[in-house]
């Protein structure tokens, strides 16, 4: 049984034009000690999925799902307290835009210390606990590669550069020793060596402590290097998911293919100076969503049937939602 | 930080200086003799007039004239009132505390009532609670102060007869003047009927304070509600919840601080609105404060008094505003860019 199991998650948000479903029947599952990548272009709703999982969305938005289970317990049905207990002890999340997710009027020390779960504090007296909290915080900061812990802990979020804030958020997410880490673009904008450090750390935690990761990113190379499985999202719909090798070798959905082709460094066979490929047009806005398969207007293979939402089909753990998948129609 | 303090102090001094300059120039722009406008003494004989000219250094050019005026002003020699021939500065010192007292109590009430209601409305954004608090505050906000005061007098003093309609305290009590704040004065005095006097003073305070504070309470509610709504929609509150903090932990550790600190200057600004409204209320309730005095002076074309009163009131307002801003700057660790963008 997967640890996190989401089936047909639909998120409706109210815009000035009325209610629109920003996420439409999204399915996603994460097994124990699996690294799953979630990819899709900007505005496809990756962050919305992350926020729906941890409940960080405005109360008036409507979330419905056939299943949204954490270790067999329904996340949507449980009380706020139960849900917070899970996010405190078992799931950690790094929201996109790390510095905005930090309280501007509290020092980073206060913020990381309040994330330390009480079971990590073994000492009895409060001054001993105080010291222990500080020690844990420092240790955690060193792990993500923040050397100058004193400066970092005594600063406010706005005083530090964005990449330190990102690393700090990662440290803060890891301090509670979660089972699942949800990281929304954790390495965006970092320079390569720092990025590799972070990716290495996550991989190591995955290998040694069985940490599962939901890794949201635009960085296909990083994903190919560390993830086991990947889910491709387009405009609030899951279009394809499967193991990295399967998806990379034989993308079934036209969007996945376009996405993979659009990353030149990802294609070994690309001759120098050949034209780069990409899909025409841009992702539709929430106000102008096409009916049926949302890729329709941009899809090179679209036909009349595509105005109906294609059902998700599974072959060997590889699933896709398309009426006319690639590779399949050849005899 | 030191630079910020220095900047504010600089601003304070320059503003006060400009106020003095303006009040000096006014004396020449007002109708009548500039000398009379400055001193408040109607020139009787050529000899007296000459003496005054020497005192204000009027014939030594405008610069040394102003310099002399500045020195006199700082020494507390603001001339005398045309009508009563009493020194203006002492009058103001006696009357200003009464106005400040009234505004202060109204401010305290506005905050005590407005803060919880505003926070509640903000937390329950778009619910019925929010709507009702908002509509009540909108109603309160739309009352003209003078109309509200008259209405309150009509109901509580004339119809029901519960509360007195004018003055600070019944004439039966003779309160020695020391601080000018009547409640403080009563408590410090050694009267045999202290309790009765205190009760009477409180009864006199109710209606003016109420009519002053209703409008400000409405404003405070709206300010705080907006701020709470913005803060609660922000990412860091969501992030605090995902850390597993409870509602009250998020509220006390992250919510309140971020909602209140940025609007402190605006909240403090309400005090100056109060002071302005207090002038109207003072006239209606015959409250012996600076506002009533100033308006009397305007009626009687008592130019020295008008000049002094305006100088005093604006100096209080400016000093207050700048000190609050400084205080917030010390408390609130925002970077400069954000800070200037906000104010
Ligand atoms: N608070 C909001 N109110 C209204 N619409 C929103 C809100 N947040 C997101 N959206 C919309 O939902 C869609 C998905 O946004 P989301 O932030 O999930 O994209 P994303 O895949 O994370 O993009 P990126 O890769 O740039 O982070 C976008 O069209 C966006 O405009
Ligand atoms: S269902 Fe149709 S429009 Fe959608 S991806 Fe497949 S071929 Fe393209
Ligand atoms: Mg995003």
Nearest CA in chain B to A172: B243
Same-domain status, B167 and B288: yes
Q: Are A205 and A211 in contact (CB under 8 A)?
A: yes
Cα A68 from chain centroid? Answer: 16
Q: Is the pLDDT of residue B65 over 90?
A: no
pTM of the model: 0.84
Question: Is B291 in a helix, a strand, or coil?
Answer: helix
Distance, CA of A64 to CA of A76 (rounded, Å): 8
Atom from ligand 1 closest to the CA of residue A41: 25
CA dihedral B13, B14, B18, B19 (to 10 degrees): -30
Residue by residue, DSSP assigns A177-237 as --SEEEEESTTTT--HHHHHHHHHHHHHHHHHH--EEEEE-S-HHHHHHH-SEEEEEETTE
Q: Is the ipTM of this complex over 0.90?
A: no
Q: Does the C-beta of A301 come closer than 6 Å to ligand 2?
A: yes
Q: What angle do CA A315, A320, A324 make, to 5 degrees?
A: 100
Which domain, by its residues, includes B215? Answer: 95-342
Same-domain status, B45 and B123: no
Q: Which pLDDT value is given to residue B186?
A: 84
Same-domain status, B66 and B103: no
Q: Does the C-beta of A254 come closer than 6 Å to ligand 2?
A: yes
B90 occurs within a structural domain:
no
Q: Which of B232, B186, B208 is nearest to B288 (CA)?
A: B208
Q: Does the C-beta of A313 come closer than 6 Å to ligand 2?
A: no
B112 occurs within a structural domain:
yes
pLDDT digits (tens, 9 = 90+) for A192-220: 888 898 899 999 999 998 899 999 988 88
Same-domain status, B70 and B129: no
B88 occurs within a structural domain:
no
pLDDT digits (tens, 9 = 90+) for B79-101: 888 888 888 888 898 888 889 89
B89 occurs within a structural domain:
no
The crossing angle, in degrees rounded to 10, of helices B145-152 and B264-284 is 50
Which residues make beta-bridge pairs with B98?
A: none
Q: Which of B303, B305, B281, B301 is nearest to B292 (CA)?
A: B281
B17: left (phi over 0), alpha (psi -120 to 50) or beta: alpha
A18: left (phi over 0), alpha (psi -120 to 50) or beta: left
Last residue of a domain, one of B74, B108, B124: B74
| Mutate: best of B229, B242, B330, B337, partner A, most A CBs <10 A | B242
Residue by residue, DSSP assigns A144-161 as TT---HHHHHHS-GGGS-
pLDDT digits (tens, 9 = 90+) for B41-63: 887 788 888 888 888 887 777 88
Q: Does the C-beta of A323 come closer than 6 Å to ligand 2?
A: yes
**Which one of the ligands is nearest to A294 CA?**
2
- The CATH code of the domain that includes B285 is 1.10.3720.10
Across the range A287-298, mean pLDDT stands at 83
Split at pLDDT 50, 70, 90, the class of A124 is: confident
pLDDT digits (tens, 9 = 90+) for B94-136: 888 889 899 999 999 999 999 999 999 999 988 899 999 999 9
pLDDT digits (tens, 9 = 90+) for B288-316: 889 889 888 989 888 888 888 889 988 98
B87 occurs within a structural domain:
no
Same-domain status, B54 and B110: no
Contact call for B333 and A87, based on CB within 8 A: no
B136 occurs within a structural domain:
yes
Same-domain status, B179 and B210: yes
**Biggest CA pair distance of chain A:** 73
Q: Which of A311, A315, A327 is nearest to A250 (CA)?
A: A327
pLDDT digits (tens, 9 = 90+) for A150-165: 999 988 888 888 889 9
How many other CB atoms sit within 10 Å of the CB of residue B261? 17
Split at pLDDT 50, 70, 90, the class of B36 is: confident
Q: Are A223 and A230 in contact (CB under 8 A)?
A: yes
Distance, CA of B105 to CA of B97 (rounded, Å): 12
CA dihedral B227, B232, B233, B234 (to 10 degrees): 90
**Which one of the ligands is nearest to A306 CA?**
2
Same-domain status, B70 and B115: no
Q: Are A167 and A198 in contact (CB under 8 A)?
A: yes
Across the range A112-133, mean pLDDT stands at 86
Q: Are A311 and A237 in contact (CB under 8 A)?
A: no
Same-domain status, B173 and B42: no
B251 occurs within a structural domain:
yes
Across the range A224-238, mean pLDDT stands at 89
Q: How many CA atoms lie within 13 A of A127 on its CB side?
A: 0
Split at pLDDT 50, 70, 90, the class of B343 is: very low
Split at pLDDT 50, 70, 90, the class of B342 is: very low
Contact call for B334 and A97, based on CB within 8 A: no
Distance from CA of A49 to the nearest CA of B (A): 14
pLDDT digits (tens, 9 = 90+) for B2-31: 787 888 889 899 999 999 999 888 888 888
Provide the domain count of chain B.
2
Cα A110 from chain centroid? Answer: 26
Percent of chain B with pLDDT over 90: 27
Residue by residue, DSSP assigns B303-320 as HHHHHHHHHHHHHHHHHH
Q: Is the pLDDT of residue B335 over 60?
A: no
Across the range B174-192, mean pLDDT stands at 81
Q: Which pLDDT value is given to residue B109?
A: 94
Same-domain status, B51 and B130: no
Q: Which pLDDT value is given to residue A331?
A: 40
pLDDT digits (tens, 9 = 90+) for A165-178: 999 999 999 998 99
Same-domain status, B65 and B127: no
Q: Is the pLDDT of residue B330 over 50?
A: yes
Distance from CA of A68 to the nearest CA of B (A): 17
Same-domain status, B47 and B110: no
In this complex, the residue of B241, B245, B257 whose CB is nearest that of residue A105 is B257
B29 occurs within a structural domain:
yes
Across the range B162-170, mean pLDDT stands at 84
pLDDT digits (tens, 9 = 90+) for A29-53: 999 989 999 998 888 889 999 999 9
Same-domain status, B40 and B185: no
Q: Which pLDDT value is given to residue A266?
A: 65
Distance, CA of A126 to CA of A115 (rounded, Å): 17
Question: Which residue has its alpha carbon closest to ligand 1 atom 26?
Answer: A42
Across the range B328-334, mean pLDDT stands at 70
Q: What angle do CA A109, A114, A116 make, to 5 degrees?
A: 100
Q: Which pLDDT value is given to residue A220?
A: 85
């Amino acid at each position: 049984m997967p640890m996190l199991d989401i089936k047909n998650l639909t998120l409706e948000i109210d815009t000035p034009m009325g209610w629109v479903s920003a996420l439409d029947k999204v399915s996603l599952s994460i097994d124990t000690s699996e690294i799953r990548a979630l990819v899709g272009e900007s505005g496809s709703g990756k962050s919305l999925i992350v926020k729906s999982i941890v409940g960080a969305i405005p109360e008036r938005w409507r979330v419905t799902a056939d299943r949204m289970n954490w270790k067999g317990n329904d996340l949507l049905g449980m009380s706020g307290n139960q849900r917070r207990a899970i996010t405190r002890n078992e799931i950690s999340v790094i929201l996109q835009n790390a510095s905005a997710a930090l309280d501007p009027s509290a020092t980073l020390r206060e913020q990381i210390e309040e994330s330390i779960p009480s079971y990590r504090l073994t000492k009895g007296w409060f001054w001993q606990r105080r010291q222990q909290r500080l020690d844990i915080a420092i240790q955690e900061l060193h792990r993500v590669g923040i050397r100058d812990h004193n400066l970092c802990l005594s600063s406010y979020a706005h005083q530090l550069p964005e990449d330190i804030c990102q690393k700090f958020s990662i440290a803060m997410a890891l301090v509670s020793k979660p089972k699942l880490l949800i990281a929304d673009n954790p390495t965006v904008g970092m320079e390569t060596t720092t990025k590799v450090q972070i990716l290495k750390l996550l991989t190591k935690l995955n290998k040694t402590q069985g940490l599962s990761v939901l890794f949201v990113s635009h960085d296909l190379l990083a994903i190919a290097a560390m993830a086991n499985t990947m889910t491709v999202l387009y405009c609030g719909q899951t279009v394809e998911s499967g193991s990295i090798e399967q998806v990379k070798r034989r993308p079934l959905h036209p969007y996945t293919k376009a996405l993979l082709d659009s990353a030149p460094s990802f294609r070994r066979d690309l001759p120098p100076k050949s034209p780069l490929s990409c899909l025409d047009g841009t992702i539709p806005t929430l106000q102008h969503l096409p009916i049926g398969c949302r890729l329709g207007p941009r899809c090179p293979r679209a036909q009349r049937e595509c105005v109906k939402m294609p059902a998700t089909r599974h072959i060997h753990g590889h699933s896709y939602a398309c009426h006319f998948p690639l590779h399949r129609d050849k005899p | 930080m030191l630079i910020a303090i220095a900047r504010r102090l600089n601003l304070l001094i320059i503003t006060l200086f400009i106020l003095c300059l303006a009040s000096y120039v006014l004396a020449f722009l007002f109708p009548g003799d500039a000398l009379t406008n400055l001193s408040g003494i109607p020139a009787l004989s050529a000899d007296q007039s000459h003496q005054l000219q020497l005192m204000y250094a009027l014939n030594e050019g405008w610069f040394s004239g102003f310099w002399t005026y500045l020195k006199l002003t700082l020494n507390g020699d603001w001339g005398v009132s045309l009508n009563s021939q009493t020194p203006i500065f002492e009058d103001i010192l006696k009357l200003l505390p009464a106005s400040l007292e009234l505004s202060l109590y109204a401010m305290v009430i506005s905050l005590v009532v407005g803060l919880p209601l505003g926070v509640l409305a903000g937390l329950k954004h778009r619910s019925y609670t929010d709507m009702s608090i908002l509509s009540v505050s909108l109603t309160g906000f739309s009352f003209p102060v003078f109309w509200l005061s008259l209405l309150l007098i009509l109901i509580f003093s004339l119809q029901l007869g519960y509360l007195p309609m004018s003055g600070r305290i019944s004439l039966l009590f003779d309160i020695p003047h020391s601080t000018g704040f009547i409640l403080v004065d009563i408590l410090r005095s050694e009267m045999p009927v202290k309790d009765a006097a205190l009760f009477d003073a409180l009864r006199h305070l109710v209606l003016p304070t109420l009519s002053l504070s209703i409008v400000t309470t409405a404003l405070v509610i709206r300010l705080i509600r907006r701020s709470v709504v913005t803060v609660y929609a922000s990412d860091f509150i969501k992030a605090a919840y995902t850390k597993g903090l409870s509602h009250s932990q998020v509220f006390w550790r992250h919510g309140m601080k971020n909602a209140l600190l940025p609007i402190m200057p605006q909240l403090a600004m309400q005090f100056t609105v109060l002071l302005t409204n207090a002038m109207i209320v003072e006239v209606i309730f015959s409250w012996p404060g600076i506002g009533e005095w100033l308006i009397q002076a305007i009626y009687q074309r008592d130019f020295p008094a008008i000049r002094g009163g305006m100088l005093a009131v604006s100096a209080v307002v400016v000093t207050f505003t700048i000190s609050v801003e400084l205080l917030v700057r010390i408390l609130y660790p925002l970077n400069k860019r954000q800070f200037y963008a906000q104010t």
